[in-house]
Structures are given as structure tokens and as C-alpha cells.
Amino acid sequence: MAIPSISIAQEKNLQEVKIRHKKTSGISQDGRLKSFASGMKILAIDSELIAQYQQHSLGVLLSQQVPVFIKSYGINSMATLNFRGSSAAQSQVIWNGIPLNSASSGITDVSTLSVGNFDQIQIAYGGSSSLLGTGNVGAALLLDNHFEKPVNSKKWNSKLGAELGSFGQRKWSFQQQYASKKWFLSAKLMQQQADNDFKYQPEQNIWKKMNNAVLHSSSVLMNIGYKIDQQTSVRFSIWHQQFHREIPPALFEQYSVKNQTDKALRIFLGFEKEYSSSIKWYTKTAYIKEDMHYEDVSILMRTQNKTQQFYQEFGWKKAMRHQQEVLIFAPITIAWMQANLDTITRYQNRFALAAAYSIKALKEKVHYALNARFETINATNIFLIGTNARFAVHPYVQLRANLQKSYRAPTLNEWYFQPGGNVNLKPEKGWNADAGYELAMPLKNKMLLKHDLSMFNRNIQDWILWYGGSIWTPHNIAKVHSRGIESFNSLHWKSGVWQAHLGLNSSFVLATTIESYQANDGSIGKQIPYSPRYNGQALVGFGYKKISCKYNHSYTGYRFVTTDESQYLAPYYTGNLFAAYDLGLQKIKLQINIQCNNLWNEKYQVVNLRPMPLGNWAMGLNASF
């Protein structure tokens, strides 16, 4: 999806091969997914990868480890999600059960979200609008924090990280954790600076150094959990971050003096109460405030968008006889925006009542769920329904299927942005279906083989796309058909002090326009802009005692820039190497690591006319005590 230029990632327990680092569970902390989404594909990023990428953004982690297209607008610019050929606004980012997508744009810039801020990262594939909320069409990125003492955790735990790298990269982070039977407190501080003055080639035999690309960012996140008694708990989070980014010139610009400052304050309060072993109720409250300020002094342009959201959810869950569960919950979202050049405060109010039912049968080999939601968005009433199921045909093999009705209302920016908003936009609506199987099988010689295959099909009516000349405007482009296949494969081996793993992930997506409101626009049967047909990674790694080394090789296919496929960007490969040495002292655990990114000096653009850096390196030091 193009945007206005100023708005610049469930397993059955098996006898696994043990690997040196503890892996996180594939089961979500979100109670809705834990009990009522067994037929959905949920991918968990393990704790070892979270530790490896803790100084990096979610965009970097997902682009290197998961076959998802991260649409990066270049260094120091936003990066958005494209799951299974969806637009950026069709994928939700959910933090501790609270949607983070911007109230104005409907998207989340994953380049501003640091991996180290989160204790669990998961991706729920396929539409789940009836369960997770309208707007969740492609997938949901789930970000969770701990609010109670992790297994085998010390009472006090401190972590310090620092990294230096190419182009003036300087990063540091500090985490402090206290855990007892009743209290859990954690504070995470992060800061980053970069000059981003890498060399690029705008024309043949001509090299230039990127200018106007300085970055300063900081983030503070505090989580507090308190167990009043064995049945009652309270959770609280406050998270503030700020990004100041100079926006470098595109290839058609001689220079740039543009800059953008993004500030966000997010406050979360949760309460849970178990009345018995079968009844539980909860409430979640959140307030999110975002402020975006853009400036281009060369044309005397200043733009400021202020958005605020209030979120409230009440839920009641009951476990019944014969392994049945029911959940009834009522989420409320009130969002308002004061946009540039607009004297009116714009509102979007969402009131919903949702229910979910699940049952396990045949000695828990079959798990079936049915979800429904009635929601009012401003004055529009909608009804969504979804169903999913999982069947364990063998201790090593499970089948799954998911069918969902999808809906996404236009965002405040799409309706009211000045200039460019379109109040005549229709909502996006359609159906999602996906099915697949997963294999997890121990082999001889202390090996574990995992294989996962998914097929999906989605039809969306009134798809919204931004395009235009000097002023970008959103339009409905009628009907889009997305279908494809995904595969995740891995082989783990361990023997004594040696361990190794191999991985191969791939994605093939056809996302084509079936009908168009624009006569003779040449889009019928053509791929949606910036949705690569092919995407994938090859992964290899080994460990010996305290030494570990990993290499990932990513491929991103052709991306068409226009709806009629008349302009495109060439495919590109990138290789990234990570090596670490763990040094355990008496009370301090140290790790020294080095990273080489774009190892083969690939010249590429993710988005047209926005060059990306050639080979670069970083060296880090992490301490835990």
C-alpha cells in the first residue's frame, strides 16, 4: 500500500532434542488465542533469536528470519508489514492484548519497535477479525511482556547491552528485573544513535554518501505485576518512546532537509480474577497517545498529527464439562485525531460484543472453535464470524484449518487527511481461508525434524490503495484475490558439546486485482504493488561449547511499483552472519558478538528510489548479572 510521503514476526509436547538456549513456548499468552485459535497457524520466535536481535528493530528480525515482506522505505524511514499479500493496514500489531495500530494511519511502523522490549513475539497467520478485531485480515503480530516470575528466574536480574557498528551506529540497553511470589517489576531502557552516512550509487560510476540521515531514538518501558492472592492479579505497563529521524534524499532528489519526530506514550492496566477452577473474568484498559511532527524547510512545510486512543475490554470465560470452554468479551475503542490543516477533531468509535466457543474431543485429538463478533464502527453495524479446527492424526502430525469473515473500516487518515483524504471510501470486506499441517518428529542421532506447510486463499472487496501524483489519495480498487503457499522447515541436531541446525522457509503469494473501478487501468490479473510473489530464507547455524555462529540468506522477488506491472524492482539477495562467544564468570555472564549484514554487498531497493546500505558490521557486548 502506498502512503502519503510525509508518513515516513501450538505445539504438541514431543521428546525434543535439547538445545543450549531455552526456547519459548508456541502457545500465546493471549487467552483468546490460547483456547480458541487452535486451528490457526501461530509461529513463535524463540528466546534465542529475541536475545540475538535485542538491539534491533522488529523489521530487521522478521525480514531475516520469517518469509514476510517488510516494506522498508529506506534508511531512517518507516517499515511496514505485508503478510500473505496484505496491505500494511490489514495486519495488526497487538501488545499485551492491546492493538497498537495507529489511530490515524491504521498501520504500525515496525522500524520503531525494538525487539528487546518484548519477552514473547508471535505471529498469528490468517484473518481473525471475529476474535482479534476488525482490521486483522493478513496476520497479527503478537508482542507480550512478562508480569510474573519466569521459570528458574533469580529474584534480581540485570542485563546490560551495547553495540557499535558501521555508519556511526551506537546502541545501548539496560534491563532491571525483580521477581518474588507476589511482585514482578521490570524496567527496560534503550537508546540509539546513528549517522547512516553509507555510500550508494545513484548513477553508473558515480558514488555518493547518504546525507541528512541522522537518527536519535530512546525508549523506556516499565512492567509491574502483582498477585493479590492465588486467584487475583494486577498488571500495569507504561511505555514511552521517541524517534527523531532525518529523512535522506531519494534517488531523484539532489538533497534533503526533511526530518520527522515521532513520540508515543502507551499505558496499560489489566486485572484478572479466577472465582473457581472453571470461571475467570478480566478487564483491560489502555491509553495511547501519538504525536508525529514532519518538517521540510526547503518548501516551508510543517505537518503535525496528534492521535489518541482509549481501549477498554471486559471478558468472562468459563470451562464446562466435556472439555468445553466459552468466552464472552466486549472491546471498546475510542480514537480521535487532530490532523494537519484540519480544524475539526475527527473520531472513530468502535463498540463490540464477541463470543468464542471451543471443544476438545476424541481424547483431545480434535480441537474445534467457533468465534463471532457484532461491532458498531461509528454508525455502521457489522457481523463477523470465524471457525477453526485442529486434528492430531498422529503423535507427530497435526492438521489445521481456519475460515474467517474479514472487515476493515477506512482509517482516520484515509477519510480525513489534509490534503488527500477521501470521505467516500468504502470499507474492505471479504473472506479468509487457510489450511495446513505440521510435522515434528524426533529422528535417530539426536535430531529433530520440523516441517510446516500452509495454503491460503483470500478475497477482499473494495481494497484500499493510496496512489497519485503530488498529492496521494486513497482509492477503492474493487476486488483483490490473494492465494499462496508457505513452508517452514528445520532440522536440529545435538551431540555432546556440538549442535547444529538447518532451516528453509519459503512463501509464494499471488495477490492480483480481479475487478477494478478504474476503467482501462491495466490492473486486471496483475500483482498488487509491493507484494513480491516469492520470499524466503535459508538458515544454517552451529554451536561448539561457548561458540555459536549463524548465517541467514534471504531472497525477495520482483515487486511491481504500479498497478499495471509497467514498472518493477529487481529481486535481491542478502546474506547476514552472526557469531558469538559466551564467557561465564562467577556472577556475570558475558557475551561478545559480531554481525555482518548484507555480507555480499548487494545493491538493492526495497521501495523504489530508496537505496539500502551495502555491507556493514556491528560488534556487541551483553552482560547478565
Q: Among 20-29, 425-434, 519-528, whose mean pLDDT is lowest? A: 20-29
Cell of 246: 532525518
CA distance 167 to 496: 40
Mean pLDDT to the nearest integer, 42-50: 93
3-state secondary structure of 288: strand
Mean pLDDT along residues 441-453 = 92
The average pLDDT across 394-404 equals: 96
Q: How far is CA 607 from CA 57, 510, 560, in A?
A: 18, 19, 10
Would you call 583 exposed, middle or buried from its count of C-beta atoms within 10 A (0-12, 13-18, 19+)? Answer: exposed
- Can you give the pLDDT at residue 27? 57
Q: Which pLDDT score, from 0 to 100, does residue 508 have?
A: 98
Question: For residue 43, what is its C-alpha cell?
Answer: 509461529
Can you read off the three cell numbers belonging to residue 506? 519459503
User: Strand locations in 378-463, DSSP E?
Assistant: 380-394, 397-408, 428-443, 447-461
- Arithmetic mean of pLDDT, 23-38: 72
Mean pLDDT of the chain: 91
**All structural domains of the chain with their residue ranges:** 31-624
Given a cut of 60, whether residue 22 has pLDDT beyond it is no
Q: Are strands 91-95 and 139-144 parallel, antiparallel or unpaired?
A: parallel
In angstroms, the CA 335 to CA 346 distance is 8
Phi-psi map region of 496: left, alpha, beta (phi>0 left; psi -120 to 50 alpha) = left
Averaged pLDDT, 396-421: 92
Scanning 163-321, the segments in alpha helix (DSSP H) are none
- What phi-psi label fits residue 322: left (phi over 0), alpha (psi between -120 and 50 degrees) or beta? left
Residue 363: per-residue pLDDT: 92
Q: What is the pLDDT of residue 338?
A: 82
pLDDT (tens digit per residue) in 333-349? 999 998 777 778 899 99
* Cα(187)–Cα(179) distance, integer angstroms: 12
Name the pairing type of β-strands 183-194 and 199-203: unpaired
pLDDT value of position 596? 97
pLDDT of residue 198: 95
CA distances from 482 to 130, 138, 363, 605 (A): 20, 10, 36, 24
pLDDT, position 43: 94
Fold that domain 31-624 belongs to in CATH: Maltoporin; Chain A (2.40.170)
Helix (H) and strand (E) counts in the chain: 5, 35
Alpha carbons within 13 angstroms on the beta-carbon side of residue 570 total 6
Q: 466: pLDDT confidence band, cut at 50, 70 and 90?
A: confident
Q: What is the mean pLDDT of residues 148-152?
A: 82
User: For residues 103 and 290, is the Cβ–Cβ distance under 8 A?
Assistant: yes
pLDDT at position 613, please? 96
C-alpha cell, 351: 463498540
**Residue 451: phi, psi to the nearest 5?**
-140, 130
Is residue 386 over pLDDT 90?
Answer: yes
| Rounded Cα gap, residues 36 and 326, in angstroms | 9
| CA end-to-end distance (rounded Å), the chain | 45
Segment 255-261 mean pLDDT: 95
Give the mean pLDDT of 222-227: 97
